[in-house]
């Protein structure tokens, strides 16, 4: 093999290696989470484009019982495939989560609470993250509302410092922030990105 064809083979191998093949067990997830991590039923979270480390930790928390769930499949994750499944969903960025409509008044309320309470960790309207927060832009509204209430009632354990941000918020306040996150573009539109860059 000469030098050039060797380089070509390496480049090809690299391009295959970038895209993880979904592990076999992921098929049992697709009935609810879709083949590419975009869920079709409200109440089920989208997993596409999510941070792999977050997905991995969530699966482990289900498996060891520290995060409650009513879904049987969540209790029997093949631990050897957790990493590969997390990687696969994290890489699904070709199709964005569908944007959900929301009432304008509720959105305005949600935006204000978001800015005061949630923006430190759920950065850029939920498109980015600090302190290991998941990416929640365009996440399913019903799922987000339910999870927020589970945190508030103590059924789901607050992560480090998130409890402070919930202090004094009513159920309606939390539902309004959930609506706000749901109404965002998952990856942001090109126009919005440009505007943001200019402001910096
Ligand atoms: C019967 C439907 C169903 C199946 C099958 C299912 N899930 Fe889920 N999944 C849900 C629902 C509903 C939730 C949210 C409620 C909860 O926490 O249980 C969820 C939540 C999750 C979350 C947490 C996401 C977040 O943002 O907090 C992960 C990760 C996840 N599922 C992975 C999987 C994987 C991997 C499989 C396959 C091995 C799977 N699920 C199978 C319905 C399902
Ligand atoms: C100090 C950082 C921090 C702040 C502030 C914060 N969060 Fe979070 N949030 C996190 C982390 C970390 C997680 C992941 C928790 C876990 O893995 O169980 C999370 C998870 C969530 C989830 C669950 C998403 C999922 O996919 O499972 C919701 C809903 C949520 N936050 C809403 C909010 C809202 C609403 C606010 C503002 C009122 C807020 N958060 C403020 C760090 C934060």
How confident is the model over 144-176, as pLDDT tens digits?
A: 999 999 999 999 999 988 999 999 999 999 999
Whether 109 and 85 share a structural domain: no
Whether 112 and 181 share a structural domain: yes
How confident is the model over 79-97, as pLDDT tens digits?
A: 899 999 999 999 999 999 9
Average pLDDT on 181-193 reads 80
The residue whose CA is least distant from atom 25 of ligand 1 is: 45
Distance in Å, CA 74 to ligand 1 centroid: 6
Q: What is the CATH number of the domain that holds 114?
A: 1.10.760.10
Output the pTM of the full model: 0.90
130 vs 50: CA distance, rounded Å: 13
How confident is the model over 20-37, as pLDDT tens digits?
A: 678 888 999 999 999 999
pLDDT number for residue 199:
43
Whether 68 and 120 share a structural domain: no
Whether 117 and 181 share a structural domain: yes
Within-domain flag for 198: no
The residue whose CA is least distant from atom 9 of ligand 2 is: 133
Domain that holds residue 159: 104-190
Cβ burial of 118 (10 Å; 0-12, 13-18, 19+) is buried
Within-domain flag for 138: yes
Number of domains forming the structure of the chain: 2
- Which has the closest alpha carbon to 92: 15, 186, 166, 198? 186
């Amino acid at each position: 093999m000469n030098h050039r064809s060797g380089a070509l083979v390496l480049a090809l191998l690299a391009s295959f290696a970038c895209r993880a093949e979904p592990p076999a067990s992921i098929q049992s997830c697709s009935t609810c989470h879709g083949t590419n991590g975009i869920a079709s039923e409200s109440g089920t979270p989208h997993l596409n484009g999510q941070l792999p480390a977050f997905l991995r930790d969530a699966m482990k928390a289900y498996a060891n019982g520290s995060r409650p769930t009513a879904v049987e499949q969540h209790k029997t994750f093949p631990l050897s495939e957790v990493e590969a499944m997390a990687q696969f969903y994290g890489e699904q960025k070709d199709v964005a989560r569908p944007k959900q409509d929301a009432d304008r008044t509720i959105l305005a309320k949600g935006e204000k609470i978001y800015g005061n309470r949630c923006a430190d960790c759920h950065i850029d309207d939920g498109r980015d993250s600090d302190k290991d927060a998941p990416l929640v832009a365009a996440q399913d509204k019903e799922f987000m509302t339910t999870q927020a209430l589970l945190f508030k009632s103590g059924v789901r354990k607050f992560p480090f410092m998130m409890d402070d941000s919930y202090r004094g918020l009513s159920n309606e306040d939390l539902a309004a922030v959930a609506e706000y996150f749901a109404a965002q573009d998952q990856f942001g539109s090109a126009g919005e990105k440009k505007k943001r860059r200019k402001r910096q």
